[in-house]
Amino acid sequence: ELKVEQNPLFLSMQEGKNYTIYCNYSTTSDRLYWYRQDPGKSLESLFVLLSNGAVKQEGRLMASLDTKARLSTLHITAAVHDLSATYFCAGNAGGTSYGKLTFGQGTILTVHP
């Protein structure tokens, strides 16, 4: 059974600083997803990482995947207040669980001026 763990669960950052959110998963995952959720809203897709060594960047966010270490990271560069949200990673075990996503606990990010 795929398990996904994120850390930290809470992250308070100052604007302009850099930080990384870590996502560990327990068994093979076909792919790794990162989502953003604002309060009271649904999920916004950020990245889909499909293979070992994959790196994707969008604005101040960069995600990477190391399938050998079963680790994905979401790096935040020069944080701004607009990035405040909850960030989830999710994996997919594949096989008979194809398409089913297992989510991490979420990381609540707060960016302070």
Partner 1 sequence: GAVVSQHPSWVICKSGTSVKIECRSLDFQATTMFWYRQFPKQSLMLMATSNEGSKATYEQGVEKDKFLINHASLTLSTLTVTSAHPEDSSFYICSARVAGKTYEQYFGPGTRLTVT
Q: Which residues bind partner 1 (CB under 8 A)?
A: 30-31, 33, 35, 40-43, 45, 48, 50, 88, 90, 92, 99-106
Residues 6+ apart with CB under 8 A from 38: 44, 85, 86
Residue 48 contacts by C-beta under 8 Å, 6 or more apart in sequence? 31, 32, 33, 56
Closest approach of partner 1 to the CB of residue 68, in Å: 20
Counting Cα atoms < 13 Å in the Cβ hemisphere of 80 gives: 4
Residue 65: count other Cβ atoms within 10 Å of its Cβ.
25
23: left (phi over 0), alpha (psi -120 to 50) or beta: beta
**Which CB, 80 or 94, lies closer to partner 1?**
94
CB of 19 to partner 1, least distance (A): 20
Nearer to partner 1, 63 or 101 (CB): 101
- By beta-carbon proximity to partner 1, the closer residue of 50 and 69 is 50
What is the closest distance, in whole angstroms, from the C-beta atom of residue 5 to partner 1 in the complex?
11
CB of 77 to partner 1, least distance (A): 25
